[in-house]
Amino acid sequence: MSTPPLAPAAPTLRFGRSVWSLLAGFLFVVFASLATDALFHALHVFPNLGEYTASKPLILATAYRFLYGVMGSYLTARLAPFRPMLHAMIGGFIGVAIGTVGAIATWNKNFGPHWYPIALIVLALPQAWLGGWLFLRRPANQPPASS
């Protein structure tokens, strides 16, 4: 009795789709954040790159980064081949790690108040959970991407 030729490839395909779902959510958040940052720099809402940024514009940046994080987590959950909430939360843990590295790298650079990088770290998991939760609460007539 032989194994069907496609049977060994199935776990690899699922792993690839898992990686893609995480990468797609991450890329969405990065590109949306960078595009919004560029817009606000052009409109002089934010100071020039490398200059100190006061709290007021950083409150705005925190708000749209949170929104983009929720949307990116929703996208990750939507594209996940299985266990969408797990995928969204893995993305959140990646966000915590990247935020921590960013906070350490910029801590003594005087780019702005220290609450901002801490907020990005603290909000990474709640926004990931919210994005996954919103996906799971979608109407029943909207099947997930994996079906």
Q: Which of 80, 89, 98, 97 is nearest to 146 (CA)?
A: 80
Could you identify the residue written with the tokens 């009795």?
1
pLDDT by residue (tens digit) across 27-75?
999 999 999 999 999 999 999 988 899 999 999 999 999 999 999 999 9
| pLDDT of 4 | 53
Cα distance between residue 65 and residue 29, in whole Å: 8
Inside any domain, residue 109: yes
What is this structure's pTM? Answer: 0.85
Tokens 């959510």 label which residue?
A: 25
Decide if 7 is inside a domain. no
10 domain-assigned = no
- How many independent structural domains does the chain possess? 1
Assigned domain for 3 exists? no
Q: Work out the pLDDT band at 128, boundaries 50, 70, 90.
A: very high
Q: Is residue 94 part of a domain?
A: yes
In a domain, 20, yes or no: no
Residue 93 lies in a domain: yes
User: What is the domain extent for residue 114?
Assistant: 28-136
Residue 142 lies in a domain: no
